Amino acid sequence: MAKSVGPRGRKVRILATLGPASDNREMIAKLMHCGADAFRINMSHGDQASKALLVQTIRSLEEEYKRPTTILFDLQGPKLRVGRFEGGKAFLESGGRFILDDSNVAGTAERVELPHPELFAAVREGDQLLIDDGKIRLRAAAVSANRIETIVEVGGKVSDNKGVNVPDVLVPIPALTEKDRDDLQFALSQNADYIALSFVQRAEDVIEARALIGDRAALMVKIEKPAAIERLEGILEHADAVMVARGDLGVELPAEEVPPLQKQIVARARELGKPVVVATQMLESMITSPTPTRAEVSDVANAIYDGADAVMLSAESAAGQFPVEAVAMMDRIGRTVEMDPNYAARVHFTATPAEATTADALAESAGNIATTVKVAAFVCYTSTGSTARRIARERGPVPLLVMTASKSVARRMGLVWGVHAVHTRDVASFEEMVGKAKRMALRHQLGGQGDQIIVLAGVPFGKAGSTNVLHVVRIAGDELDDYGVS
């Protein structure tokens, strides 16, 4: 197996979840080589010791392959569940009555424990309660301080500890449980690049997490509750990135409402210049099949045409029989879509108007130049990643080579559209940066002798957020053909 992983040849990123099918060094290496740009560690399963081994393996391969690699820790969040049943299961008859109460006695076909006292105060008559991802549908008929009497609208078999969704209710519980707080501190101790916050309902959830995280990791919010849709602007304001988590979102909302919401969230995140991931059931059939359905391929392609920064594999890579094939398929879909002559027009269907800043104006100008003058790549030097995100927001026609002296910034770029990040030493002058930009473009095969590249930077160096120079240079010895300097 090759000892390096170069530029992908596609701009959309691939986020692969690790699990029993992919938790060893050999498999993680294969996933990196066949297209995984970032790895998700799901804190809903397993213990912290096993997660630490995963991080150690990824960082070891990162060093071996000399490619900054993104690690996202996904916190479990406040998952609501029913209690236990006699014999481990029961069958609920449609049209019958069923009670959720606070008694820890094993459940029957007539009742079961609901170990979440806050729900008794929040649920109202007429509200829906969904069990096991909506397979069981209940409607509240009467509510008291420790008891919810329901009518079974859709019955079926239910077993121990199945999840409960209450789409009609803003649940009065924080997004961070005690387990999440412990897992968060563990993730930060492992130098996580992103922390994903589950079941966000309000901006205050994000603010609370931000206070705990500080600037030690980027904060990604998962949009999977109707309450989050209603408060999207406030939530995104305090987040660094967003995930369209279609699993629970598709349970709590009618399925037909999810596609337009996905497009709205992707578009808004792109307008704000914040990385956006589309997740859940993207290649679901590849859990047990070496090939996906045509509908799944279209689903992945649709997210790429919308300009999502990344597409995610869940059980396909974590627990499926064909994790390598699933990542390779995602990679092929991305490459094929991006070669479509109509791709550029479709990905720019979402307008991303520049803000009234020099950095935004230059990023927009770089995109315009690249469509007028033949260039091989954008190159930027960044200390915080903000310049890279601004350029990526424009969804330009060529790859973006990002150089940074910060290893953490380089790693976070793994979920940013079109970026190939390089961790390199700092530079002291604009001339040194231009020379390094040409050498790095050659070394990483993003440009050849005679090719032009667009270089963006901030002068003086070392001052964050000061992007104020755009240079077009030719890779040809020390010769510079200047098209513009600001």
Q: Which two tokens stand for residue 126?
A: 């007429």
The answer on pLDDT for 187 being more than 60 is: yes
Give the C-alpha separation, 353 to 364, whole Å. 8
Q: Provide the pLDDT for residue 4.
A: 64
Give the C-alpha separation, 231 to 379, whole Å. 36
pTM: 0.92
* CA distances to 83, 163, 186, 273 from 353, in Å: 50, 42, 39, 10
Query: Of 386, 385, 393, 388, nearest to 364 (Cα)?
Result: 393
The answer on pLDDT for 352 being more than 90 is: no
Q: Provide the pLDDT for residue 459.
A: 75
Give the model's confidence band at 430: pLDDT under 50 very low, under 70 low, under 90 confident, else very high. confident
- pLDDT tens sequence across 88-138: 999 999 999 999 999 999 999 999 999 999 999 999 999 999 999 899 999
The answer on pLDDT for 478 being more than 90 is: no
Query: Of 405, 411, 422, nearest to 59 (Cα)?
Result: 411
Give the C-alpha separation, 163 to 453, whole Å. 52
The answer on pLDDT for 479 being more than 70 is: no
Give the C-alpha separation, 207 to 244, whole Å. 19
Give the C-alpha separation, 482 to 229, whole Å. 47
Amino acid at 421: A
CA 333 to chain centre: 18
Q: Provide the pLDDT for residue 211.
A: 97
Q: Which two tokens stand for residue 165?
A: 């969704």
Domains along the chain with CATH numbers:
13-77+175-346 (3.20.20.60), 86-165 (2.40.33.10), 358-474 (3.40.1380.20)
- pLDDT tens sequence across 297-315: 999 999 999 999 999 999 9
Give the model's confidence band at 353: pLDDT under 50 very low, under 70 low, under 90 confident, else very high. confident
Q: Provide the pLDDT for residue 463.
A: 64
Give the model's confidence band at 455: pLDDT under 50 very low, under 70 low, under 90 confident, else very high. very high
Q: Is residue 191 packed enough to be buried (19+ CB in 10 Å), middle (13-18) or exposed (0-12)?
A: middle
Pairing between β-strand 241-245 and β-strand 218-223 as defined by DSSP bridges: parallel
